[in-house]
Structure 1
Amino acid sequence: MSEHNEGKWLYFTGFWSVGCGFLSLLCRSWLLVAGLLLSLGSQAASVVFLNPGRSDEPYWVSYTRFMQAAADDLGMPLRVLYAERDPQRSLQQARELLRDGRLPDYLVFTNEGYIGPELLRLFADTPVRLFTVNHMLTADQQRIVGGSRERYRNWIGSLVANEEEAGYLMAHRLLKAGTAAGRGLDLLAFSGLAQAPVAQLREQGMRRALADFPRARLLQVVYGGWDRQRAYEQAQQLLRRYPQVRLVWSANDEMAFGAMKAAREAGHVPGRDMLFSGLNNSQELLSAVVDGSISVAMSGHFTLGGWTMVLLHDYDAGVDFAAHGGKDRQLPVFILLDKRRAEKLRGSLARPGYGVDFRALSLALHPGQKDYRFSLRPLLD
C-alpha cells in the first residue's frame, strides 16, 4: 500500500473509530434516558385509605389487612387512616393531607356519615383521584354533585357489595332453618346505624325475605350501631318483652354476639332453641359457625379494598376499569358459609397474603383477560 493510500486508510479508520465511539456514547445516553423515563413512569401509585372504622375493630382491621396484602403484591404504597367511627375525623384527616402537601395519587373513601360530597369538594382542584368503596353516595347526593366522572372528573369510580341481597339471603336462610326446626317464625332484627346506607340495604333485604314466609312476623327492629355491648343491652330488654322469640337476625357479627350473650343469660342455647345469623369474617364468627352456635352466616365484603387496589393499579397503568365492567360496580362478593366453608376461610385468613395472587387478577399485567375475576372463592378452595 502506498504511503498516500495508507494515510487515507488511517484517516478513514480513525474517523470510523471516532464515529462509532460517538454513536456508542449516543446509544448509551439514550438508553440511560429511556431507563430513567421508564423508571419514573413505572413508579408505583400511592394510595391513602380513609378507613371509617376503629383501629381495633375486627372487621375494619381485616379489611385493611386484605387491602394491604393486595398493595404489597402489586408494589403500591398504602397508608391507612382510621376515623375511629367518627366521620368528622375522616374529613379532618383529609384536610391535613391537603395542608401538609403529602398528597397521594389516589384517595379511597367510604360515604359513611355522608361525607362523600365534602371530600369531593376538598380535592376538586388537586391531581388526586378519588375512589369510593362500600358506601356509595346516595341518590339524593348524586342528584346534587353528579355521579363519578361527571362534575368531579377526578372521582373515577366506586366498588360496593351486594348488601341488599346479603340481607335477603341471610334472613331467608334463617327463616328456612326456623321452619325446618319447628321453631316459631317470630323474628328480632338488629340493624346497624339508621342513617347508614349499608344498614338500610341489609334491612331492606331482610324485609324482602319476610314476604316469602307468610307465617313470619317481625317483632321489632333495633339499631345496635354495629356494636356488641349496645346490642347486648338492647337484647336484654327485648327478650323480656318477647319471651317467645326464637329467631334473631343481625346485620353484622358483633351485634349477633351481643344478642347471644343476653340469650344465654336468659337460659337459651344458641343454635338449639334459638337461632342466630351473623355477617362478617372474624375468627369468632367462623368458629361459631363451625360449633353451630351461629346458624346462618355470610362473608365476603372484607375483600372490597383489595379488589380496589387491583383496579387502581390497572387504571394507573393505562387500563381503565370503566371499559371492563363499568366505572361504578356492585360486586356479588357475599357467600353463605356452612361449616366446611367457614373452616376453609378460617385457614385462608391465617395464611400470609391470604393465598391470593393479586397480580394474576390484573388486566394490565395480563392483557389477554377480558374482565376482572373478583370472588371470595379462591379463599374457600
Structure 2
Amino acid sequence: MGVNNHRKMIQCVGRHNPAAGRDTLERRMLWHAQICRQKSMAVSRIVSFVILLWLGMMPAWGGSRVALFLPDDTPFWNRVALFARAAAGDLNVQLTVFDADADRLKLLRQLKQVSSTPDRFDAWLFPNFLRTAGHFLVQCQRLGTPCILFNSGLAEDQLGAPRRPNPQWIAQLIPDDTGSSMEITRELIQQARQNNSDRPIAIAAVNGYQADAPAIKREEGLRQVAETTEGARLKQVFYTDWGAQQAYVRTAGLLRRYPAVNVIWSANYRTTNGILEALDDAGRTPGRDVLVNGYDINPQALSQVAGGRVAVTAGGHYVEGAWAVILAHDYLAGKDFQDQGLVFHTPLLIVTRDNVENVQTVLGRIEKEPDSLYRVDFSQYSRAENPNLKDYDFSLREVLKDYQAVWGLEPGGD
C-alpha cells in the first residue's frame, strides 16, 4: 500500500472519494471509528499510568510503614501491641511487631535484620529493654530513619536527648512517674485521715533499685507530697530489687522498727504483693490497719482495690503503644510536634474504690474481646488528621471514655 493511501486510511471520518460505492463508504466509516476508539483507549491508558506513577512518587502521608519492637509477649506488652495496632488501623499505618521473647540478643538480631533493609520501614518504635535503646538510636541516625523511644528513658549522658544531637530520635514517651506518685501519696494520706483523723500519718516506703530512673522519679513524687503535707511524716524509704520477696523482708523489718506505721507506699505491683503478704503474716489488716497502694492496672490490682486490700493504684501506660504510632504518623505526614515538646510524660490512670468498678468493666471487656478496642477512633488524637487540634491528650482515661461511649457503657469515674 502506498504512503498516500495509508495516510488516507488512518484519517477519521469526514473525507471520502465521491466515486466510491455506498458499501465501501460505510465500511471505511466503521473502520475509521474503530481506529479512533483505539486511539482514545490508548491515550486513557497512558494518562492512567502517569497518574499512578505520580501517586507512587508522593510521600506516604497515610500508609506509612512502622516497626514496633517489644521485649516479649507478657500481658503488659500484649496490651502495648493491641493499642498500637488499634491506632495504626485508624491511621492507615502498616505496623509490624517484633517480639524478642525476653531475649536481649534476639532483639539485637531483629535490629540487625531491619537495619539491613532500611527501605522497609519509615519509622521505628522501641523501649529501652535491657539497655538496648542505644543500639537502636545509633542505627536510626546512620540510616536516617525517624525513631521514638517509649516506656523508658535514657540518662542525660547517654546519647543526649531527642533531636540533640541525633535528629532522627524524634521523640520520647515515658510514664509520668513523678506525677502519678504524687497523686497516689495524696490519696493515701487523704484515706488515712478519713480512717482516723486524730492519728498521726506515719509513712514508710518500699521502693525498687535506688539507681533506677522509675524508682528515682516515683520517690521524688512521694517526697514532694509527704514532706510538705501537715500531719504526715515519711519515716524511711527501703530499697529492693523490685521483687515481692525482698519487699516482704523489708516490710517485716519496718513493721518491727516502726510499729505505728499506718501507710506503706509501694513502688510497683510486685512490691505491693510482698507488702500485703508481710502484713498478713504480722496480723495487720491491709486497708484497715495499714493503707497500701499498687502500681499497675491489671486484673489482680483492680481486684485488690475492689476488695479493699489496696487503697489506690495507678497504671495503664501500655496505651503508649497508640501514642507512639500517632506521633510517628504525624511526623511522617509533615506535622512536627516540636511545639508540644519532644519528651511526653504519659499520665497514668488513678484507680480507687470510687471508680474501680467502671474501670474493671471496660478493661475486662477489652481483655476478653481485644477487637472491641478497634471501635475507638484513634485518629481523633492525631494533629495531622485534625488540624484544629492544638494539644495532644495522651491519657488512658480519655480512651476509656471514648470506649464507653461507642459501646454504650456507663460512664466511669475520674
Please tell me whether the aligned partners of residues 293 and 312 of structure 2 are also in contact (alpha carbons under 8 angstroms): yes
Shift in alpha-carbon separation, 1:216–1:18, aligned structure 2, 3 A: same
Per the alignment, residue 64 of structure 1 pairs with 81
How far apart, CA to CA, are the structure 1 residues paired with 2:119 and 2:239?
Answer: 38
How far apart, CA to CA, are the structure 1 residues paired with 2:118 and 2:334?
Answer: 28
Return the TM-score normalized by structure 2. 0.77
Matches within 5 A, 1:201-280: 201-280=217-296
Deviations 1:226-262 (A, max 9, x none): 3334423432333334333221111222321221111
Q: Pick which of 211-220 and 152-161 moved more.
A: 211-220
How far apart, CA to CA, are the structure 1 residues paired with 2:113 and 2:30?
Answer: 66
Q: Does 1:377 align with 2:393?
A: no
Per the alignment, residue 98 of structure 1 pairs with 115
SS of alignment partner, residue 138 of structure 1: coil
Shift in alpha-carbon separation, 1:90–1:172, aligned structure 2, 3 A: farther
Shift in alpha-carbon separation, 1:100–1:27, aligned structure 2, 3 A: closer
Shift in alpha-carbon separation, 1:28–1:335, aligned structure 2, 3 A: same
Q: CA deviation at 1:127?
A: 4.3
How far apart, CA to CA, are the structure 1 residues paired with 2:173 and 2:254?
Answer: 36
How far apart, CA to CA, are the structure 2 residues paired with 1:99 and 1:229?
Answer: 43
Q: Pick which of 193-202 and 115-124 moved more.
A: 115-124
Per the alignment, residue 99 of structure 2 pairs with 81
How far apart, CA to CA, are the structure 2 residues paired with 1:302 and 1:378?
Answer: 12
Q: Does 1:333 align with 2:353?
A: no
Per the alignment, residue 313 of structure 1 pairs with 329
Per the alignment, residue 55 of structure 1 pairs with 73
Deviations 1:67-101 (A, max 9, x none): 233334445323143463x7676545434543687
Any unmatched runs of 5+ in structure 2?
A: 1-13, 402-410
Q: CA deviation at 1:135?
A: 2.1
Per the alignment, residue 147 of structure 1 pairs with 161
The total of aligned residue pairs comes to 373
1:69 maps to a residue whose letter is A
Q: Pick which of 272-281 and 169-178 moved more.
A: 169-178
Per the alignment, residue 175 of structure 1 pairs with 189
How far apart, CA to CA, are the structure 1 residues paired with 2:147 and 2:315?
Answer: 26
Return the TM-score normalized by structure 1. 0.82
Please tell me whether the aligned partners of residues 87 and 378 of structure 2 are also in contact (alpha carbons under 8 angstroms): yes
Matches within 5 A, 1:279-298: 279-298=295-314
Q: Pick which of 202-211 and 11-20 moved more.
A: 11-20
Q: CA deviation at 1:39?
A: 6.5
Identity of aligned residues (%): 27
How far apart, CA to CA, are the structure 2 residues paired with 1:13 and 1:304?
Answer: 67
- Structure with greater Cα Rg: 2
